[in-house]
Structure 1
Amino acid sequence: MRKSKFFAVLILSLLMVIPLAGCDLIEDILWHWSRNKNVEVTTTEASHGVYQMNLNETRLIKAAYDLTTDSPDELISACIEGMKQAPSDNAYKCLICGDVQVTDYTYDSDSRLVTLYFDPAYNKLPASREILTRAGIVKTLTQFSDEIQYVSFVIGSEPMTAEDGTSLLMRGKDFVDSISGNMEYVREDYVTMYFVSGDGTKLQAEDVIVKYLSKINLETALVNSLVSGPITEGLKPSLSPDTTVNKVSIREGICYVDVDKTFLERVDGQSFELNIYSVVNTLTQMTGVSRVQFLIDGSIFTGTVEGVHIDGMFEKNMSLVYRPEKEGTVPPSQPAENGDALKKDIEQQVKENQMSSEETGPGETETDESTGE
């Protein structure tokens, strides 16, 4: 359909310019077009579909595919089948073929986790192709975030693990769509993040593994993860998902958080203080960060939200945080959460160490390499 429309527009354009330009110009246009007709062109991405890999194994593209189903199990099966299909564009190839074969899968509706089981031959993939294949599979499945938030891989009988040996739980946003030359190193850190409790009145800690590209600093990754929302079922977002993170940097013990004005919006009628201290309490766990300064599109915001001024600097405030006295307790009037399965491999000691970190002086601060400050 796209090619037909392109040819129709091209022919119409040629007919319009022939009387004005003459045959020489037309021949020149056609020569240049025929010379470049095999160049890869990125088209508008399908709203829902499956990812495919280009023949050079450097880039992914999402191709339209019918994924209308009545259940998560049918959706997973349809995604797997779609990733097996040979692309209509011969410049791309399918992800599940050759040494990449899915032998089975399981789905946990409570944690919205899909576990894919692969033939042991998967381990034969070259590193660059493996990570791009993995990225495409995870991004295909997690585009339906209401049903699927995380994907894990089991190769033969061995789960794919992080560097510390814990099960690797992956989201689509953990990956880039293309690679060139050397792979960009993906870092990971254990962190405590603060989202809104089920009753919408307090902050509640969530211990997770944050993965981010090496070119992005941890403070930026943390704020972006807050915008993405919590993993644990029952916790609520503290920031609007439409919030744009312009820049996050640390100088002399102060973390400067530059976001757009969407940050000022209340989420589901929650107190605006929860917006502020979800960010502040998350960032001040970092070594060398004692205070947070907010900027709105590069400038200090002099107005107020719910009578709260944000032109000053904020320190950690744990009075807004609900912390269960023992594992298994939940905020009053809230049902027990099952999402803890996603983070069962994270040691409790990590959380305790992070929350007890002492605030340090300017001598231990990090430098924002992107600005040279």
Structure 2
Amino acid sequence: MKKRYLIFLFAALLLLLCGCGSKKEVKTGYQIYYLNSEQTKLNPREYHPKSKDAEGMVKEFLRELSSAPEDVEYQKPIPNDVEITKYRIEGDQLSVWMDSDYYNMDAATEVFCRAAVVRTMTQIPDISCVSFFVGDSPLVDSKNNVVGLMTAESFVENPGEQINAIQTTTLTLYFSNRDGDALVKETQTVHYSSNISIEKLVIEHLLEKPKNAKGKSAIPSGTKLLSVTTVDGVCYVNFDAGFTNQDYEIQEPIVIYSIVDSLSELSTVSKVQISVNGSTKGVYRDSYKLDKIYDRNLDYLEERQKGEKAKSE
């Protein structure tokens, strides 16, 4: 009997151990994804929710994403004028409904808002994907395509560099020629702090005079860069109102493609959108819409234009 009792006790202990091993670990520490003070990237901040179930945590997280944090280094990713009207959990999918003001956000802010919600919510063990609705309709992109379900992997950021490290890189930049009717290509080797993004470095050098005396900056004099960020291959460049100053000595496409072509030389950038004071409404001069996302176009290169002219002659 004693032997049977010991065998039974051992089996019971084994089952208990197996049960503990298969039990899902309860997560207590989470992160809320806020915008940094420059509004150029998302910064996670540790957060310990009071709720234990998915429904309660979603409600709690959405409240945090819509509230201004006390730390000035962080900014809420959901703007004041955007309201979350409802949400619903079905299986492992969270659906979030926004009011129509969602479409009033500029492109960069909208992407950051969406990424912050998705990255924050998919930490919840029962939620693996998020979908968005505006009004009663699914969220669509600038080309009217439905955005669809998103996971944390839908948004990719470059890994951080060591703070204040000095790096060297070679930039390929496109300036205006002296006549303002074509682009001239220039390669510059520059030293810079890793605190500055490579996209910002490109724009800062485009605002300066080129090394080559045959060229000049295509961007209107007095223009200031407010922000620049790249999300999913699209670089969003935000200038102040100085960008609208008209310098008719430089043709419209030369201004636009000086920026687009220079940024597109970066491996992280495939398209570019330009805004003025955060707005993409209207056009630059007569025909270049600000709400359009521009692809690289080297047709305005001076050497290419000369080649085409020689062929025609």
TM-score, normalised to structure 1, is 0.37
More strand by share: 2
TM-score, normalised to structure 2, is 0.43
Structure with max Cα Rg: 2
